[in-house]
Structure 1
């Protein structure tokens, strides 16, 4: 996907701008360091994702 952002040419999906990628990751509660994900730091990824998901749920709840 990074190559797609660099060239702006669609290959995999519709994300061709860095800002769109960042918004998509945020909308899906995916930590920004997903590109650095390894088996060793996967537990950290899960912990951070749980925090992001909790923030999203809290925001939805407060909006009721």
Structure 2
């Protein structure tokens, strides 16, 4: 099982990426679609890798 520190780090990083998305979308409105795509890719890879991480923690 993931520890509280690991979960805080992972979701903290997602919120930082989301904050950067909001900041760039506010400063450069034309970049919003590209930043949204990047944000969704980051979240997608994050949740795809969760299964492997949970299996690795279970085997410890």
TM-score, with normalisation over the residues of structure 2?
A: 0.47
| Higher helix content, 1 or 2 | 2
